[in-house]
Structure formats: C-alpha cells, structure tokens
C-alpha cells in the first residue's frame, strides 16, 4: 500500500493514527515536529502526509508553504487541527493541502480522506530549482530576501558575479511560476515589441552581459526601456565592472542604466559548507522530476563535493549531481565516484581560454589561481598571501579588482 508520513507533536495521536493506518495496510512513518518531518520527507518520499497545524517549532501551514515554495509538494497533504478555523482551512487549501480534518478524527472519516488523497495525482517537480529549495542555508535565505526587496521597487537588477555564480538560480527564484522566460543571450535576431508584449509578466535573463554580441546589446537596451510597459523583470549578471565594459565599447547610457541597481550574491566558494545540503536537495529534485533513478549520496561523496571550488557555479554542481546519479552502479553514490567527478571538474575549470587577448587571459588565470588557493585555505587571506608572495593589502586590492568573492565567515579581515 502507500507510505504515509504522520506529523503530530502529541505522541498519543501519532500512535493512534499509526495503528489505524497500519491496520488498513499502509506503511507509516512518524514525525513529532517540523524538523523531523523535513528529514522524513527528504529521506522517504512519502505518498501522502497527515500534517498537524499546531506544533512547537514550526506550524504546519508554514511547513506546507515551505514545501510549496521549494517545489517539494509532490505528494498530497491532509492538514489536521484540534483548533481549526475556516480561515486556517482555506489558507491551507490555497497553499496546496488536499483536505482538512478536525480533531478528534473519526476512524472512517480519516480512512476516507486518506483514500481520496491517495487518488490525487502528485504534482511533477518543476524543471528549475529556486533559492526557496534550500531552506537550511541562512546565506541563501538572506539572498532571496534581498532580491525580493529589490524587485519590489525595481524592474531590473544586475548581479555582480565571479566564478561559482548563482545568477540563474537567482533569476529563477524571481520568475512567476508559469510565466515566460526569455534568455537575451540566446539569439541575435532583432527583439520585437510584440515578443515582449506576449511575454507579459515574465522574466528576461542574461547569464553574463560580457558575452553579448553588439546585436544582443541592442536587444538588451531595447528591452530595458520597456520593462514597465510590458510588465517584465530583468535579471542580468556581469563579471566586469562598468569601466572595463566602457573600455570595450559598450554604450555608456546602457551601462549606467544597468548598473543603477546591482547586488553581489554569494558564490559557491562562499557557500562551501552549504554544498552538501544543496547537493542532497538537487538529488531529491532530480529524482522527483524522474530525471534520474533513486540514489543517495554517501558521506564521503558529500565531502568530496564540498571540497570542490565549483567555478562553474550552480549549473556545474547540478550537472555533476545528475551525471553521478546516472552513472552510479549502486544506489548509494560512492566517495570514489564523486572524487573522480570533482577532479575532472577542477581540471576543466583550470583550462584557460587561449583565444582571449593576453590581458583577459592573464586575469582569467589570476582569478582561477586565487579562487583555487582560497578554497584550499578555507578563505584564510594570510595563508593565501604567503603562498602568492603578496602583501595582504595588495592581495585584497587584487581580489577586488578581479571580482573574487571572499568568505569572511572565519572573521579574518
């Protein structure tokens, strides 16, 4: 039968519901609070959840909203409450619950609600993850809040990024579900007003404005001036500062307009300690989207992923997880598989684009060099300066010039 997760802080109610459901042939998992429910949801992928509203750590409606925001509401959820109100029930249904049971719950009423719930087809996970998918990271929660604050008053934001960019993850977090997504770097054809009008309410995105051709720069300028009229938002990213772009021939008006509102998001180098949790959430997301078979990550594999600099950013991390899951011979992804994948990723990241002008190639090498040593030394500036043979002050200036983000979690200045 079905695997059912029962979440209730009262041990007597948990045991009673468990006994009834097991007698009806179901496999039951119990959780006493939201923290245990999150873990059970991730580990067990239940077919249905019975979720109490009033709990000591996080209430049930808040947990329901969290699952919905993180695109983890892929199973029917039935809310329970001994102090239910119409308003609470309506709010729970609005955020994805399929039913609402008021305590004390009669046996037949419980079983009928469970059977109805199990007949509901679970929603497919969305193709794209967002910042809301990673609920445990304080840095990512703060980043999401900053982005939402900015976009509440501005139609566009420029992300000033370096290696390890989270640019697309940021943009996907601001995209209205079901709305149009237009990558302005994917086509050099002239952008028409009709295209923008048809995308009303959608998101325009540029992964790195430095890579835009002249024709694409014109499209960006055209779109930027029509965001309000067409009810659109724009998220663009850049690893260069305005002076560098102006020196390369960019239109000063466009540069000034783009850099009016900017934000420096953390890179995966700064999020090193969050990488294991991010990797597990990515794995879960891919499984529920049926992109990979059921897999788990061993502790050794998670440590190997944590110790990689991920210069390619979130896209590189997600690609690595997908590749590991598809290529693993066992259900648990081993440390050996992850180390092999991480080593290849690092080798690829350190390859230099030799078709660049000398100055740009030198900057690319320096950026990779310092990011590599910052990762090895866990962000310790003193040790990196000693290795590089530079004064600390000179190193700080160099890192700022190259756009390399620093991890100051250890408190070093």
65-108: pLDDT as tens digits: 888 876 678 889 999 988 766 777 788 888 889 999 988 898 99
Cα–Cα distance list, 404 to 27, 143, 158, 331, 369 (Å): 50, 18, 17, 37, 11
Predicted local distance difference test score (pLDDT) of residue 298: 94
Interior/surface letters 188-211, b for 16+ CB within 10 angstroms, e for the rest = eeebeeebbeebeebbbbbbbbee
Closest CA to 104 of 16, 30, 5: 16
Predicted local distance difference test score (pLDDT) of residue 164: 65
Distance CA 37, CA 339 (A): 31
Q: What are phi and psi of 7, to 5 degrees?
A: -120, 110
Predicted local distance difference test score (pLDDT) of residue 344: 59
Residue whose entry in the numeric block shows the structure tokens 């509440």: 152
Residue 45, phi-psi category: left (phi > 0), alpha (psi -120 to 50), beta (remainder): left
Distance CA 358, CA 378 (A): 30
CB 224 within 8 A of CB 254: yes
Helix (H) or strand (E) holding 205: strand 203-206
CB 51 within 8 A of CB 64: yes
Cα–Cα distance list, 169 to 67, 128, 263, 282, 315 (Å): 17, 8, 14, 12, 9
Distance CA 49, CA 94 (A): 17
Q: Find all residues with CB under 8 Å of 186, minimum gap 6, and list them.
A: none
Enter the tokens of residue 201: 């309410």
Distance CA 110, CA 71 (A): 26
Distance CA 348, CA 129 (A): 25
Distance CA 39, CA 35 (A): 7
Enter the tokens of residue 18: 């468990």
Distance CA 310, CA 338 (A): 13
pTM (2 d.p.): 0.64
pLDDT tens per residue across all 413 residues of the chain:
789 999 999 999 999 999 999 999 999 999 999 989 988 887 767 999 999 998 888 889 889 988 887 667 888 999 998 876 677 778 888 888 999 998 889 899 999 999 999 988 655 545 578 898 887 788 999 999 999 999 999 999 999 987 668 999 999 999 987 789 999 998 889 999 999 999 999 999 999 999 899 999 999 999 999 999 999 999 999 988 999 999 989 999 999 999 999 999 988 888 888 999 999 989 988 887 788 998 999 999 999 898 887 878 888 899 999 999 999 999 999 999 888 877 655 544 444 555 667 777 788 788 777 876 776 666 778 878 887 888 888 888 888 888 776 654 333 43
- Report how far Cα 150 is from the mean position of its chain's Cα atoms: 18
Residue 224: count other Cβ atoms within 10 Å of its Cβ.
Answer: 19
Q: What angle do CA 257, 260, 264 make, to 5 degrees?
A: 125
Residue 116: count other Cβ atoms within 10 Å of its Cβ.
Answer: 13
Distance CA 129, CA 69 (A): 10
Distance CA 148, CA 60 (A): 24
Cis peptide before 320 (omega within 30 of 0): no
CB 1 within 8 A of CB 26: yes
Residue 316: count other Cβ atoms within 10 Å of its Cβ.
Answer: 20
Distance CA 220, CA 190 (A): 10
Residue 191, phi-psi category: left (phi > 0), alpha (psi -120 to 50), beta (remainder): beta
Closest CA to 234 of 257, 211, 203: 203
């Amino acid at each position: 039968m079905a695997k059912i997760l029962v979440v209730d802080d009262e041990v007597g109610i948990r045991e009673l519901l468990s006994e009834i459901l097991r007698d009806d042939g179901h496999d039951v998992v119990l959780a006493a609070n939201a923290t245990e429910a999150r873990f059970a949801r991730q580990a067990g992928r239940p077919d249905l959840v019975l979720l109490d509203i009033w709990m000591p750590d996080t209430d049930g409606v808040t947990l329901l909203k969290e699952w919905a925001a993180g695109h983890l509401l892929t199973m029917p959820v039935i809310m329970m409450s001994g102090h239910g109100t119409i308003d609470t029930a309506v709010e729970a249904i609005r955020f994805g619950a399929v039913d609402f049971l008021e305590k004390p719950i009669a046996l037949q009423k419980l079983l009928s609600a469970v059977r109805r719930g199990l007949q509901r087809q679970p929603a497919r996970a969305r193709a794209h993850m967002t910042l809301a998918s990673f609920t445990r990271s304080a840095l990512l929660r703060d980043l999401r809040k900053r982005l939402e604050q900015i976009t509440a008053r501005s139609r566009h934001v420029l992300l000033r990024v370096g290696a390890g960019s989270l640019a697309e993850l940021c943009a996907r977090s601001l995209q209205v579900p079901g709305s149009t997504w237009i990558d302005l770097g994917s086509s050099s054809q002239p952008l028409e007003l009709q295209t923008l009008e048809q995308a009303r309410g959608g998101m325009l995105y540029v992964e790195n404005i430095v890579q835009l051709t002249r024709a694409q720069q014109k499209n960006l300028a055209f779109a930027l001036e029509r965001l309000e009229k067409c009810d659109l938002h724009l998220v663009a990213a850049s690893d260069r500062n305005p002076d560098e772009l102006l020196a390369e021939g960019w239109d000063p008006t466009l540069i000034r307009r783009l850099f009016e509102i900017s934000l420096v998001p953390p890179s995966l180098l700064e999020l090193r300690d969050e990488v294991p949790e991010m990797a597990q959430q990515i794995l879960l997301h891919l499984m529920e989207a049926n992109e990979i078979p059921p897999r788990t990550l061993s502790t050794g594999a998670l440590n190997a992923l944590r110790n990689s600099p991920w210069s390619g950013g979130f896209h590189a991390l997600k690609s690595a997880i997908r590749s590991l899951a598809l290529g693993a011979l066992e259900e648990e992804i081993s440390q050996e598989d992850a180390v092999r994948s991480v080593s290849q990723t690092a080798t690829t990241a350190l390859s230099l684009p030799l078709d660049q002008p000398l100055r740009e190639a030198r900057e690319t090498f320096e950026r990779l060099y310092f990011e590599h040593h910052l990762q090895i030394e866990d962000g310790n500036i003193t040790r990196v300066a000693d290795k590089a043979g530079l004064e600390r002050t000179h190193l700080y200036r160099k890192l700022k010039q190259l756009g390399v983000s620093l991890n100051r979690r250890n408190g070093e200045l």
